[in-house]
Structure 1
Amino acid sequence: MSTAYETLLVEEREDRVVVTLHRPEARNAISGRMIAELHEVCGLLEADPKLLLLTGHGGVFAGGADIAELLRRGRDEALQGINSRLFERVRRLPMPTLAAVDGWALGGGAELPYACDLRIAGPDAVFGNPEPGLGILAAAGACWRLPELVGESIAKQVLLAGRNLDAAAALAAGLVIDVVPAEKLLDEAHALLDRMARSSATALRLTKLVVDAPGAHPVADDLAQAVLFEGQDKKDRMTRFLEKRSRA
């Protein structure tokens, strides 16, 4: 575990980085300091691409942004996009990202998982965006990411009507890949990452780039495939596959 962070627990492994939001005194609320530290982690993952697992400490993912800090922010801070710039950076990380969510994931604490490629939930997970009740809007990506993830109707129920999505509703809406017992949440999250880690890292990176590219993009598909077709990794993997099948 790293001791260089005040609001995060960071564990670096050979093929992944595990980041735990750790502000137990504030239900892991996302503060300016946490934003800065998450930017540091993004810098590490951009320089040395690995899978990312994000989770929260103590049975809570993040109870929202730090309201005391939000109260002090004005127009200039809003225009800086303090949270939205970080979450977009998370979205654009080279390798796949996974949020393991149990307990509350509210406001900015929901928008951070929305920015990840995949989400897995414990039975007590609750996603919600109560920002209008505080006189603001969910401006760190929820207003456009959530409709892409769950559809316009459900997104408006969350963003306008204040509906919270519990674990079952999140699964039904396709927001999370699975709901697993709380005591198995991290094990199942790592199992999912293990499955991805067995794939070609270059293929994962290029697939993510192509999936995230806007609109139809057959040329980008062809260029990415051309890079992979010339790689030794592709030749080795396909050769092993054919040899295994011939022995079956």
Structure 2
Amino acid sequence: MAQVLIEKPEEGVALVRLHRPEVRNALGLELRQELAACFLELGADTAVRCIVLTGGPEFFAAGADLRALAEATPVELLLRDTHRLWQSLVECPSPVIAAVNGFALGGGCELAMHADMIVAGEGASFGQPEIRVGIMPGAGGTQRLTRAVGKFKAMKLLLTGEPMTAREAEAMGLVTEVVPDAEVLERALALARKVARMPPLAVRQIKEVVLAGQDASLSEALLLERKAFQLLFATRDQKEGMRAFLDKRKPTFEGR
């Protein structure tokens, strides 16, 4: 049975569901491999303009599958190259919106942080509890969390393993929006629908520049921004968007 399900509920929008409910979507190797293949496929599909990633109405993902890690050796972990399986998410050109119900812990929290926006239910919780089993985050938890919420908040979460509520995560800057639990997927899809209607090349350039600029100096990041801004004036969508604005009509974007 597939552990990752792909749906296309409407034009331009893809919905990716983690489907390993018997272990609360624990991120075993097979699930990670399927997820990587899924994002490679969707990232190469120009008809897909925005992706929603969800786990289900009760939980997003419980983290790594500890049964597969308890007796692992450093060499075994090295040879698994699991960091490569995250690359298709990192490099996906389309924006990704995580729709989080219930808990997103450990690898589940790291997975959510690979998204570009996070919509969380009021009952959702986030955390990096790896320290409680003698290890530390290994899929970006120490780095993405620190970049999102700052050193001092991140240190508390990482060193105590304590979870945070959706409201706390929103206040720290980790979560985009908090909505009632029953409305999480609906709201994420609504955001995806709105993004999918925007000019695709501008959307992709914005995502690329934001992510690349995070690890660059301000002057380098501003240079990236200027070049991407200038490049978009070579697109049909720029001409269509501005003409439509002046003509007081809705634009039709083609991604060209």
TM-score, normalised to structure 1, is: 0.91
Per-residue deviation at 1:80? Answer: 4.6
Alignment partner, residue 62 of structure 1? 61
Output the CA distance in 2 between the equivalents of 1:77 and 1:140.
16
User: What is the CA–CA distance in structure 2 between the aligned matches of 1:232 and 1:131, rounded to whole Å?
Assistant: 49
Identical-residue share of aligned pairs (%) = 39
Alignment correspondent of 1:220: 224
Equivalent-residue separation in structure 2 for 1:81 and 1:218 (angstroms): 38
- Which residue pairs with 1:16 in the alignment? 13
- State the partner residue of 2:193: 194
Deviations 1:81-121 (A, max 9, x none): 74433334312210111101010111101100011111010
Return the offset for 1:239.
0.6
Q: How many residues align?
A: 241
How do 1:78-227 and structure 2 match up within 5 A? 78-80=77-79, 82-213=81-212, 214-215=215-216, 216=218, 217-227=221-231
Aligned-pair Cα RMSD in Å? 1.7
What is the CA deviation profile of residues 116-175 of structure 1, one whole-angstrom value per residue up to 9, with x for unaligned ones? 111010011110111111111101001100010111111111111222111110111111
How far apart are residue 58 of structure 1 and its match? Answer: 4.2
The partner residue of 2:236 within 228, 232, 235 is 232
Letter in 2 for 1:8: V
Give 3-state SS (helix, strand or coil) of 2:160's partner.
coil
Q: Secondary structure of 1:160's match?
A: helix
Contact 2:40 2:88 in 1 (8 A): no
Aligned with residue 242 of structure 1, among 231, 246, 253: 246
Whether the aligned pair in 2 keeps the contact of 1:81 and 1:140 (CA below 8 Å) is no
Q: Which has the higher contact order (CA 8 A, sep 6+)?
A: 2
Q: 2:40 aligns with which of 39, 43, 46?
A: 43
Deviates further, 105-114 or 51-60: 51-60
Quick one: which amino acid aligns to residue 31 of structure 1?
A: G
User: SS of the residue aligned with 1:17?
Assistant: strand
